[in-house]
Amino acid sequence: MSTLAFLSTDATADSRWTPIARSPMQRQQRERGARFETRHGWELAVAFPNESEMLESVGIAELPQFGKLDVRGAGARPSATRCTWYQMTPQRALCITDATITRSVRAELQESARQVVDVSSGLGSVALIGPRAGEFLRRITELESFPASGVVCEVHGHVLTINGGFLLLFPQEYGHYLYEVLLDAAVPFDGGPIGVDGVPRGTIW
Amino acid sequence: MVSRLRAREDERIDRGRPVTFTFDGTAVRGFEGDTFGSAMYAEGRRVFSRSFKYHRPRGLVCCAGQCANCMATVDGRPNVRLCVEPIREGADVNGQNVLGSVDRDFLSAVDRFAGPFTPPGFYYKTFIRPRRLWPLYEKLLRNAAGLGKLNPEATREGRFEKEHRSVDVLVVGGGSEGLQAAIEAAQAGSSVALVDDGPEPGGALLLTESGDEPARALANKAREVGVELLCPARAVGVYEGNLVPIEYDNVLIRMRATEIVVAAGVVEQPLVFPGNDLVGVMLPGAASRLVRFWSIKPGERAVVITADDSGARAVETLKAAGVRVAATVDLRATMPETIVASGKKGRVTGVSIDGDSVRCDLVVASGSPQPAHALLSHAGARVDYDAGRGVFVPVEVPDGIRAVGGAAGDVGQPGLPRPSFGGSGSKAKEFVCICEDQTTKDLRYAHAEGYDSIELSKRYTTVTMGPCQGRLCHLNSVRLYAETSGTDESLIGTTTARPPWSPVSLEVLAGRPHEPARRTSMHDRHKKLGATMMWTGEWRRPYAYGDPAAEVRGVHEAVGIIDVSTLGKILVSGRDAATFLERIYPNRFGDMASGRIRYGVLTSDAGRITDDGTIARLADDTFYVTTTSTGAGAVVEWFEWWNAIWGYELDVVNVTGSLAAINVAGPDARALMERLVDIPVDADSFRYLDARQGHVAGVPSLLLRIGFVGELGYEIHFPSVQGEFLLDALVTEGADFGAVPFGLESQRVLRLEKAHILVGQDTDSESNLLEASMPWILKLDKGDFVGRWSAEQVKARGLETRLVGFRLKTDDLPVEGGQIVGDGQPVGRITSVRRSEAADAIIGLAWVPADKAVEGASFEARVDGELIPAEVTLEPFYDPDGERLRS
Amino acid sequence: MKDIFRKRRMWRAPTRLKDSYDAVVIGGGSHGLATAYYLAEHHGMTDVCVLEKSYIGSGASGRNTTIIRSNYRTPEGARFYKRSVELYEQLSQELDFNLMFSQIGHLTLAHSDRAMITMAERAEVNQLFGIESRLIYPDDVKDLCPEIDVSSDVTWPILGALYHEPGGIIRHDAVVWAYARAADRLGAEIHQNTEVTGIGVSNGRVTGVQTNRGSIECDTVVNCTAGWSTTLADMVSVDLPIWTSILQAFVTEPVKPFLDVVIVSSQMHVYLSQTDRGEFLIGAEVEPYSTYSNRGTLPFLESSARHVLELFPQLSGCKVLRQWTGICDMSPDYSPIMGMTEVEGFLVDCGWGTYGFKAAPIVGVTLAELVATRKTPDLIEPFKLERFYADRPVSELAAAAVSH
């Protein structure tokens, strides 16, 4: 429904301007020495110093550019492969997409779902990657069989499994707080932040 | 006198790594593997503290962290149990609760003289008159109480983590029974974790001369079959759902277990006899630990008195350490009439058993082996007194938890010690509760005074309320009580066991010190622009960027920009959306055209105002609802809950975080917007209360022409992640117009100038629409809606109070919350008040008696204790006809 | 003073119930015992028994966090609790038992604008009723509590506080015992371990009470059972708009005097005081679900600990000794429900939520007056049960926002 176009960052149209999307964790990322690049309309932290070391334990990768779609009604799942489907209740699902296909998946889902609301801006997404990701997760949530929704770092969130670990989704407005908690919790693990480019191929999809 | 023995096999100390610390300023040398207490004992120290009330010298009794006898202050931290606290290089250890030192405490005069004046509960009978002196007496009492002293400069130090785990079987207690249970469970395919408070498991095995080898073998076997050994670690308690928090290093493990096996063994109980608190009187376990863990000779000449096999084991260990065992009494075989210990300067010098004296400097004594059933009690097990064995045993253990070994009551057939061995002759104190310094005489006294149930007696004498929480005194107090009152122990019952099983510090429970906070996507920009931030509920928001009065002026004269992203935002869509909203709001919405907005007020099912916001119709079946900043979650829940009952075809989606919102307001707002938007914003194309979609600086947006600040304004709702970008664009383009960012404080003034209410500040849990002067919101000419019955009732009974605007006739700003007074009684209150330059007055909103809700009526407001006149106005203070707003 | 040299039974232990009494008070806590005392002391009514199913003070009276204050928000509440504090101030002398009432002062910290407004309102209402309460700012807070951090380096900086000078703490068991002794000495009978199993009603009036130790004839029954109020009221088919939940509390190991004032944080929903024994007594809010469970929870300990350390990091190493719960009968408007019901002779005293103990003396005085004169005293008129049917609540929500 075009009535909800104002929710999507990719619905930009005025050629005089090039809007940029930023994550609430940017300042902390800059403080950690991240290198930034603009892609898909996003200013992304693509690399951090020493990030390959983090991957030996647990790497924390913020991936804000993913699409997140709130899907209502028992419609068909998307055909694309670079997306994850989380059926929360029989009538409600969350679809996480790679940034390049958010628009097309949204359109596809709108064909059969009762409603598709683009909540990409509303949910932050952070991937926990590495051999100790599971152990690390136990330090921040009681949830244990995934995908699951519940309390993560004292706020409501969702935890999905990915090939290389876990994907955390949480309300964007808690982003700064959550990043602080995650990076602090990673200290005893010698883990830390990794950039978008630091995520090994095949980790997410 | 140094008491360290030559190196023994399986000792815990590493003689190659010496460690030095100070006690009361004097250096003490020990080894890695020692505790502070063991190192001090090894060097010859016997007196570790002074008792709570009588300041009697006290020595090690349990060596297992159960009592308060070895409590001291370590590096500024009070109440540390030295017997179990691992030694640390350079630590500064000091005695506590003394005037002078642990060795020479001037307060021990209390012991010599105060006795007759301080029976239990003496403070209830004293210091009653004169009343004005009570605070002074109280100060004395308070200073006498408490053990260690807190360091007022202390800060939070160290990392404390939480970890969530789950396991099939959790075994608490790593003695032979516990290890065997763990091994069996693991072999049967369960995931098993075992908790033990020692550095290695073994439990009571480690206290016997030949127990190390079998303990090691069992531990290794356990590891082999996959049991996870957590040691040293302590279970805090058992909570609902078999949740067992475990203290393990600096991590609090929140462990959920399908089954809990309690293998915590028994708690050795002291015997009650005159002189039983003398330094040198200790439990068998303490003597064994000193010898076996730290290679320390506990004394030269010992007398051993026990009611079970612990005596024989202790004798074996003592002999191996070269201690001369001068006499042993097995209470299973002989039950003396009297046992009396005597001493000099607080240290034991001999024991008299039925009149026969034996010289000794060490008395190893214990009574009944009380099963450590506390965890079972936490889980709901009942506890019964087993008269044949003189202990409380768990019965009716609930599903999901069980006990093995001593904890289950498997204690063989111990002797039944006398509740007191003092006989009638001795004058010396027989202690039942060493933590609280309560004696047999005290307990008998309490009973005579009529505190005739174990609970009343406990509260009156404070027995079991000290640091040991009854571990070493509860059983003895019950048995003495039974004897005194002539009733059965089984009828007396026990006091309820509650978590924590052993004391756990606040920092461990607190974990990481982060508090959730919500920030808008423009947070950093606000700070860059000079904002002072404040809390609104869980949100951080700009209070002001400088001078709020200048911001107000900026909005009235040019254009202001405010971040209102914290507003709740909810999409309500579906075929029945309009019907639903009309049924849950007092408003009418069904006749609203697409592209139009209405201000709505939500009420509870008792008709009380709970929230407010705007409702924009985006399409026939799609509504965009805003709520107050702190109300979004509650409103979403409210909507979903009611629809769960009504079952309308409806979807409610909370998009609060997905969208940021910026309000651009002021006479130059249109001109500024024209620069940035790609849709027409002239007065005819975009009227007041219209909703339009377009792009602002290229950002996809929903634009709402609404206004809480009395000027032409546009509220832009757009994807929150583009917040910084859009704000930058507005500020940059706005510079040409003298645009000012404005914060909450100036917004408060501006909305007050328009007499706009703030739900929760101008209204409270009892306010209704009619009395809050918003009758137009209430549409009684529609069907039923939530809270309708109450609105009808208010209408029928008539309005008693009204929310009105007022102007103050002085320059003194009253506090919000100030009272309105009539005939000396409070008849209303001021809910909002500010100085307004534009209105050139102090303006505000207040609840007044309904008959005062008349233009120009006057009332009195209490300001700084004085009554100041105020004048009612029912019109907005600024732009009363809304011309600027609707331009 | 001479009493310390004398041993004298505090109260008798009557072996059997009489066949009838002029009045039966159900519930041997502070309210029931105070009522029995004042019935005898003020009205000469001594043919009264107090029936307690366990030991006296075993309910909320023995579990509360001992805070006494009168800084309530509504005029009805302010008047009522003010009188209670006045009675407490001379109660040790009246009952000749040191209740150890320490009026060390009570601070309700405000960490937000909204909270400051609420405190200001309470201060203003209090002052109008002659209750010593005022709004103070961080410097004054620091003077009263030097250990607290009033800087902005904390998560929720303190913006000010409601300072209530007459507020303080008391030895809760002592109040129960003192009232019990006084009532007993005036002739009232206290029957412990006596559980009420039924209440007889005929033609809309009370006729008697059945217990596990026999039956009693009487025409006046006062229900002072707090958390069990609804189960008692069910016996006479009186509907009470009460929902029941638990309040949790815990106590730490004792340390030398550190905190000399009662601290409540409205932001963090936690409060603490230091007892005369040196222990910190800490509590939070009522559990947000209905329950009678007497098991405490771990999240309560965790969040209270976290919040206490926000206020007083010096307490990091303090150890929790014991946690417990008490049952709270919550009313719709956070004000009590006192007085007559539709069953003649059945009087209620409930809806005490988390604020019953501080009202014990005034409850005893007014209930006694009601029983003896059959007329509702003015002070408790606003708390009658009918107010809910007439939609006239006495809303103390703001003052009860943090339970203490």
Question: Tens of pLDDT along B573-601?
Answer: 999 999 999 999 999 999 999 999 999 99
C-alpha closest to that of B98 among B148, B132, B47: B148
Shared-domain flag, residues A144 and A190: yes
C-alpha closest to that of C341 among C195, C199, C188, C183: C199
Chains A and B form CB pairs within 8 A to the count of 167
Is residue A182 assigned to a domain?
yes
62-81 in C: which are within 8 Å (CB) of B? 62, 75
Residues B305-364 pLDDT 10s: 999 999 999 999 999 999 999 999 999 999 999 999 999 999 999 999 999 999 999 999
Q: What residues of chain B lie within 8 A of the CB of A27, using their CB? A: 524
Shared-domain flag, residues A138 and A43: yes
140-169 in A: which are within 8 Å (CB) of B? 141-142, 144, 153-155
Find out whether A121 and B658 touch, Cβ atoms under 8 Å: yes
Percent over 90 (pLDDT), chain A? 92
Position A1 confidence tier, pLDDT thresholds 50, 70, 90:
very low
- Answer whether A3 sits within 8 Å of B724, measured CB to CB: no
Is residue A150 assigned to a domain?
yes
234-293 in C: which are within 8 Å (CB) of B? 252-258, 276-278, 293
pLDDT mean by block of 10 residues, chain C; 404 residues: 76 94 98 98 98 96 96 93 97 96 96 91 92 96 96 93 97 97 97 97 97 97 96 97 96 95 94 95 94 93 96 96 95 95 97 95 98 97 94 77 45
- Answer whether A122 sits within 8 Å of B657, measured CB to CB: yes
Q: What is the set of domains in chain C, with CATH numbers?
A: 19-101+168-241+333-404 (3.50.50.60), 102-167+243-330 (3.30.9.10)
Domain B568-656+758-788 carries which CATH code?
3.30.70.1400
Q: What residues of chain C lie within 8 A of the CB of B500, using their CB? A: 320-323
- Mean per-residue pLDDT, B710-732: 97
How is residue C163 written in tokens? Answer: 């300072």
> What CATH number corresponds to the domain at position A95?
3.30.70
Is residue A100 assigned to a domain?
yes
Given this model, what pLDDT does residue B98 score? 87
Residue of chain A minimizing CA distance to B251: A139
- Answer whether B449 sits within 8 Å of C278, measured CB to CB: no
> Is the pLDDT score of B511 beyond 60?
yes
Residues B377-394 pLDDT 10s: 999 999 999 999 999 999
Shared-domain flag, residues A110 and A191: no
Distance CA B777, CA B774 (A): 6
Distance CA C234, CA C244 (A): 14
Percent over 70 (pLDDT), chain B? 100
Residue of chain B minimizing CA distance to C75: B826
How far does the CA of residue C283 sit from the closest CA of chain B (Å)? 13
Strands (E), B308-410: 324-330, 339-344, 347-353, 356-359, 362-365, 369-371, 382-386, 391-395, 401-403
Fold of B156-263+370-410: FAD/NAD(P)-binding domain (3.50.50)
How far does the CA of residue B380 sit from the closest CA of chain C (Å)? 9
Mutate to test the interface with B, among A119, A173, A182 (most CBs of B within 10 A): A173
> What CATH number corresponds to the domain at position A50?
3.30.1360.120
C-alpha closest to that of C34 among C182, C173, C160, C168: C182
- Mean per-residue pLDDT, B396-419: 96
Q: Counting Cβ atoms within 10 Å, is residue A15 exposed (0-12), middle (13-18) or buried (19+)?
A: exposed
Q: Is C306 near chain B, with CB under 8 Å? A: yes
Given this model, what pLDDT does residue A13 score? 67
* Residue among C177, C317, C391 minimizing CB distance to B790: C391
Centre a 10 Å sphere on the Cβ of residue C205 and count the other Cβ atoms it contains: 14
Q: What residues of chain C lie within 8 A of the CB of B459, using their CB? A: 57, 62, 173
Mutate to test the interface with A, among B594, B721, B733 (most CBs of A within 10 A): B721
How far does the CA of residue B651 sit from the closest CA of chain C (Å)? 27
Q: What residues of chain A lie within 8 A of the CB of B659, using their CB? A: 6-7, 121-122
How far does the CA of residue C205 sit from the closest CA of chain B (Å)? 32
Given this model, what pLDDT does residue C401 score? 43
How is residue B524 written in tokens? Answer: 């950093």
Residue of chain B minimizing CA distance to C193: B453
* Residue among B152, B460, B606 minimizing CB distance to C314: B152
Virtual torsion, Cα B411, B413, B419, B422, nearest 10 deg: -120
Is residue A105 assigned to a domain?
yes
How far does the CA of residue C225 sit from the closest CA of chain B (Å)? 19
Shared-domain flag, residues A142 and A163: yes
- Answer whether B159 sits within 8 Å of A142, measured CB to CB: no
Shared-domain flag, residues A44 and A72: no
3-22 in A: which are within 8 Å (CB) of B? 3-9, 11-22
Shared-domain flag, residues A77 and A113: yes
Shared-domain flag, residues A126 and A191: yes
How far does the CA of residue A163 sit from the closest CA of chain B (Å)? 22
Q: Are strands B347-353 and B356-359 parallel, antiparallel or unpaired?
A: antiparallel
Residue of chain B minimizing CA distance to A143: B164
> Is the pLDDT score of B862 beyond 60?
yes
CATH architecture of the region B270-368+419-428: 3-Layer(bba) Sandwich (3.50)
Q: Looking at A88, A118, A148, which one is the last position of a domain?
A: A118
> Is the pLDDT score of B611 beyond 80?
yes
- Mean per-residue pLDDT, A125-136: 97
Amino acid, res. C103: Q
How far does the CA of residue B730 sit from the closest CA of chain A (Å)? 12
Residues B343-355 pLDDT 10s: 999 999 999 999 9
Enter the ipTM.
Answer: 0.97
Contacts for B318 with CB less than 8 Å, ≥ 6 apart: B287, B291, B298, B302, B304, B325, B364
Q: CA distances (Å), C166 to each of B430, B826, C365, in order?
A: 42, 22, 21
Q: Looking at A51, A83, A118, which one is the last position of a domain?
A: A118
44-63 in C: which are within 8 Å (CB) of B? 54-58, 62
Shared-domain flag, residues A109 and A126: no
* Residue among A5, A16, A123 minimizing CB distance to B693: A5
How is residue B425 written in tokens? Answer: 């002759």
- Answer whether B658 sits within 8 Å of A26, measured CB to CB: no
Mutate to test the interface with C, among B75, B509, B603, B792 (most CBs of C within 10 A): B509
Shared-domain flag, residues A98 and A133: no
Is residue A39 assigned to a domain?
yes
How far does the CA of residue A184 sit from the closest CA of chain B (Å)? 9
Is residue A140 assigned to a domain?
yes
Distance CA B14, CA B32 (A): 5
* Stretch(es) of chain B classified as CATH 3.30.70.1400: 568-656+758-788
> Per the structure, how many domains does chain A have?
2
β partners of residue A149: A158
> Is the pLDDT score of B222 beyond 70?
yes
* Residue among A3, A24, A174 minimizing CB distance to B618: A3
Domain B1-154 carries which CATH code?
3.10.20.440
How is residue B678 written in tokens? Answer: 């790609």
Position B118 confidence tier, pLDDT thresholds 50, 70, 90:
confident
Residues B788-833 pLDDT 10s: 999 999 999 999 999 999 999 788 888 888 899 998 889 999 999 9
Is residue A71 assigned to a domain?
yes
Q: Is B540 near chain A, with CB under 8 Å? A: no
Q: Where in the sequence is the domain holding A108, given as residue range(s)? A: 67-118
Q: What residues of chain B lie within 8 A of the CB of C284, using their CB? A: none
Chains with 3+ CB–CB pairs under 8 A to C are B
* Stretch(es) of chain B classified as CATH 3.50.50.60: 156-263+370-410, 270-368+419-428
Residues B456-500 pLDDT 10s: 999 999 999 999 999 999 999 999 999 999 999 988 878 788 999
Is residue A94 assigned to a domain?
yes
Would you list the DSSP string of B780-814?
A: -SSS--TTHHHHHHHHHH---EEEEEEEESSSPPP
- Answer whether B515 sits within 8 Å of C97, measured CB to CB: no
**DSSP code of residue B102:** S
597-636 in B: which are within 8 Å (CB) of A? 618-619, 622
Shared-domain flag, residues A40 and A92: no
* Residue among C3, C11, C57 minimizing CB distance to B125: C3
How far does the CA of residue B502 sit from the closest CA of chain C (Å)? 7
CATH architecture of the region B429-493: Orthogonal Bundle (1.10)
Spell out the alpha helix ranges (H) of chain A: 26-31, 51-54, 102-112, 133-137, 175-186
Shared-domain flag, residues A114 and A127: no
Q: Is A117 near chain B, with CB under 8 Å? A: yes
Find out whether B236 and B347 touch, Cβ atoms under 8 Å: no
How is residue B205 written in tokens? Answer: 């095995």
C-alpha closest to that of C167 among C246, C301, C97, C260: C260
How far does the CA of residue A29 sit from the closest CA of chain B (Å)? 13
Given this model, what pLDDT does residue B328 score? 96
Centre a 10 Å sphere on the Cβ of residue B548 and count the other Cβ atoms it contains: 20
CA angle C93, C99, C105 (to 5 degrees): 105
CATH architecture of the region B524-565+658-756: 2-Layer Sandwich (3.30)
- Answer whether A12 sits within 8 Å of B724, measured CB to CB: no
Q: What residues of chain B lie within 8 A of the CB of A187, using their CB? A: 159
Q: Is A201 near chain B, with CB under 8 Å? A: no
Fold of B798-887: Elongation Factor Tu (Ef-tu); domain 3 (2.40.30)
How far does the CA of residue B215 sit from the closest CA of chain C (Å)? 32
Q: What residues of chain A lie within 8 A of the CB of B721, using their CB? A: 9, 21-23, 42, 64, 120-121, 172
Shared-domain flag, residues A60 and A71: no
Q: Are strands B819-822 and B858-863 parallel, antiparallel or unpaired?
A: antiparallel
